[in-house]
A and B are shown apart, each in its own frame.
Chain A
């Protein structure tokens, strides 16, 4: 067993786990945060995407132990004080989900895309940026619309930082 300790959605979380434990297993089974999903076994599908220290990673491909000391944000941690994150709202506004299984990872990956590429995303950038997230239901048409809106809203909400 190995002891892991991290902050998940702003709260401390620690446990003794089998060293083979993946981050997604730690989240789903130890912390009962079942919003992050497992959809494949080869790191392709993206249903497991969370943010670790501000960056999107596939939690099925990272050991919980290697996230020791990290700040982890999952889908459950996005809404603040009962108010949805603009990307979450955009997915509902644009019917960017059907069965909902890929959706947490899709939203987390989309937020990361905006963080990296900025809030003015064209269709090609969005489609290419979501290569690591598979959806079987929507055909992506409405996901693209959702991400474009979510990106714009994120841009509008963030005051320009003086760097």
Chain B
């Protein structure tokens, strides 16, 4: 392994611009003559729009135009879409209500888009917006996930009676019921997977431009997937044909899923830029991010686990109500179905599973994928059930898990997924040793002596990522395939550009992709540049989410490099006057087998482009190859996280004393970057468990709409982490990569809650387990212990 090859912790090439303030984020971009957009948003959770009077506002200084839903409709602009069809148990398709880019006739959540003001300056646009008079008739609103489908609630979309989008099932109800009926012990839990707001540090933004000379639009936007954005804006929303629409996603400051989706704002800005024939710029204020970025999670679940007399799991059933918000966002339908139910087996050999999910509309912001997307929800179900079942039956939680682990692969679960490779016991053993599990009794006693409560909690998570085999997701309702593309362009002097359909918004692709090229072609890593994020440069790609860039994106790159090597060998054969079959390529050199005749990669590149040593009719000049890679299966990263924490019962404050993680991500390209992904994921998972929660009051107002009210994890909320890995290669891609981007967010929340409930003597606490909630629970626990 070289200092810059596969498995090396190479320092990131992209850092230089970020640490010197020279990144190019969307809001950094300015175009001559640009106008600024400001959105007027609904103050009501549910209301009809009776009249919009923009006459006074139109006369406000600097105003260029004011547009409403009527203007969008008059231009026949298509609505925003959900691209994944889910069918209910009765075979009927999901009830998708219309989602216009600006509200038509009705607003459905606080923050819903009513009008856009475009003016010469942002301040002028905001001043004008205040003068728009909107007459609303308020309607009753429902924000409570559990109550959305009850009789008598206000109907949010006419097409969805009882606000129910679909009633979906996965698994075998009859077999599962039978397993439960004959079980020795049933563990039951009810809980809420709390609603979260992704809050990447960069707010969403868009700069839209129209070139009337060529009738073409350009959108620069904070997107995780510019080609998907172009596809939706073109084919579904109908703003321009694809070849007349360029979408650029430059440096993007974090996404975590929230920047996958196609939103009203960039749609309206793009349409408006052509209407007014001036560039239109929009940047979200943080409150707007809170109100209108897609939120995450928000499940209400009842779950049960059936055990036999020996503690073996015989069945699992879960009934979940999933809140999708006021409109169906781009991938929303898939998150609580095929990204959730399919992971309920966890790391365990569970013969019978039955999962029912009802998705509902409420008068809240749309809900869609947020780091983990369905898998954190599944992991919380199975890992809380496992821990509680172990405690209820008097078994050590680690040994209970070990007894039930899948031990041989491939393993077909009852919920579609076939786990291909893993070593669940191996990760557990390593984690137990690293966490000094043996010493927990002493540490608990030491804490108790100081008046503190110490607890330890496990989470043996597994996830499906490396999104995704196209035929599989197509058969499950996806409107798109989830392959990935790479093009390798070797320049005449031997430097290389990689064009990838993935997008880096923190994941370090400019370094990791270059590591692969450097290792394969034997060229210095400085000679490789990675191009992403521009539909004019990269032909097509599906973007970055679902921990797919390594497993799928780098596999496409690997295939393209295979083709480069094959072509280069042909050129080398001509140059070295040997047959192609006698050429070997190693460490950047082409050698004729059994001789010392050799030539370096750079010289072969030059030869490919000068075409002096071969007939251009026999062998095409040039050295440029592309590949589209479609994985054969999902990948299954898995591991064990162990959280050990201490509660101060006087204040309810929870201090995480140590965090141990042993993860199996298959092959690692850059361990430093992998660890960084785990750190960030754990922080978000701890945030979910202890700090974060989006809360709507009974009027449908989002009362957690700023960093003052929504508690983001800060440096002093977290410890340093002990992160190690084991490796069982993924058989479903040529590099053996499983992916690591979401694991921390998936594994962490149940580890925290399991530790907390352990400290509290098994008193349950809902997420977020704020100091107030913990203090209350601690009082109850202390009281119970005294009785």
Q: How far is the CA of A34 from the CA of B17 in the complex (A)?
A: 12
Point out residues on B near A: beta carbons under 8 Å: 11-12, 14-23, 25, 27-28, 30, 123, 199-203, 251-254, 256, 283, 285-287, 505-508, 672-673, 675-676, 678-684, 706-708, 712-716, 718, 720-721, 744
Which residues of B sit under 8 angstroms from A35, Cβ to Cβ? 20-23
Whether a CB of chain B sits under 8 angstroms from the CB of A8 is no
Q: Which residues of B have CB within 8 Å of A134?
A: 201, 707, 712, 714
Chain A residues with CB below 8 A from B682, complex form: 139
Could you tell me if B201 and A136 are in contact, using CB atoms closer than 8 angstroms? yes
Closest-CB distance, A128 to chain B (whole angstroms): 5
A98 touches B507 (CB 8 A): yes
Query: What sequence of 0s and 1s flags, for each residue 4-41 of chain A, a beta carbon within 8 Å of any chain B beta carbon?
Result: 00000000000000101000000011001111111111
Q: Does A141 contact B (CB under 8 A)?
A: yes
- Knowing A126-B715, A134-B712, say if A97 contacts B18 (CB, 8 Å): yes
Besides A88-B19, A97-B18, 4 other A-B contacts (C-beta < 8 A): A35-B21, A37-B27, A78-B20, A98-B507
Q: Which 9 A-B pairs have the closest CB atoms?
A: A35-B21, A100-B18, A101-B253, A139-B679, A99-B506, A139-B683, A98-B506, A75-B21, A44-B707
Q: Name the contact of B12 in the complex, choosing from A42, A75, A92 (C-beta under 8 A).
A: A92
Interface residues of chain A, those whose CB is within 8 Å of chain B, are: 18, 20, 28-29, 32-42, 44-45, 47, 74-76, 78-79, 84, 88, 91-93, 95, 97-104, 107, 123-124, 126-128, 130-131, 133-144
Whole-angstrom CA separation of A18 from B673 in the bound complex: 44
CA distance A128 to B684 in the complex (A): 19
Q: Is the CB of B679 within 8 A of A99?
A: no
Q: Count the A-B residue pairs with Cβ separation under 8 angstroms: how many?
A: 188
| Residues in A whose Cβ lies below 8 Å from that of B202 | 37, 39, 99, 101
B716 with A100: CB separation less than 8 A: no
Q: A42-B286, A78-B20, A95-B676 are in contact. Are A144 and B715 (CB under 8 A)?
A: yes
Report Cα–Cα, A143/B283, bound state, in Å.
27
Contact B676 A136 (CB under 8 A): no
- In the assembled complex, the Cα of A141 lies from the Cα of B534 at a distance in Å of 32
Taking A99-B253, A138-B679, A139-B718 as contacts, is the C-beta distance between A33 and B286 under 8 angstroms? no
Are A131 and B715 neighbours in the complex by a CB distance under 8 Å?
yes
What's the least CB distance linking B739 to chain A, in Å? 16
B714, A136: Cβ atoms under 8 Å? no
Contact A92 B11 (CB under 8 A): yes
On whether the beta carbons of A40 and B715 are closer than 8 Å, the reply is: no
Question: Is the beta-carbon distance between A95 and B201 smaller than 8 angstroms?
Answer: no
Minimal beta-carbon separation of B761 from chain A (angstroms)? 29
Closest to A102 in B: B201
Closest chain A residue, CB of each to CB of B288? A41
Taken together as a complex, chains A and B put the C-alpha atoms of A96 and B331 apart, in Å, by 32
Closest to B707 in A: A44
A163 to B256 CA separation, bound complex (whole angstroms): 49
Contacts of A142 in B (CB 8 A): 675-676, 679
Residues of A within 8 Å of B708, CB to CB, are 42, 44
Query: Closest B-chain residue to A97, C-beta based?
Result: B18
CB neighbours (8 Å) of A84 from chain B are 19-20
Which residues of B are found within 8 Å of A32, using beta-carbon distances? 30
Asked if A136 meets B20 with Cβ closer than 8 Å, knowing A18-B123, A99-B252, A142-B676, the reply is no
Q: Are A99 and B707 in contact (CB under 8 A)?
A: no
Given contacts A39-B202, A126-B715, contact A76 B21 (CB under 8 A): yes
A9 to chain B, nearest CB (A): 10
Separation of A144 and B713 alpha carbons in the complex (Å): 14
Q: Is the CB of A41 within 8 A of B287?
A: yes
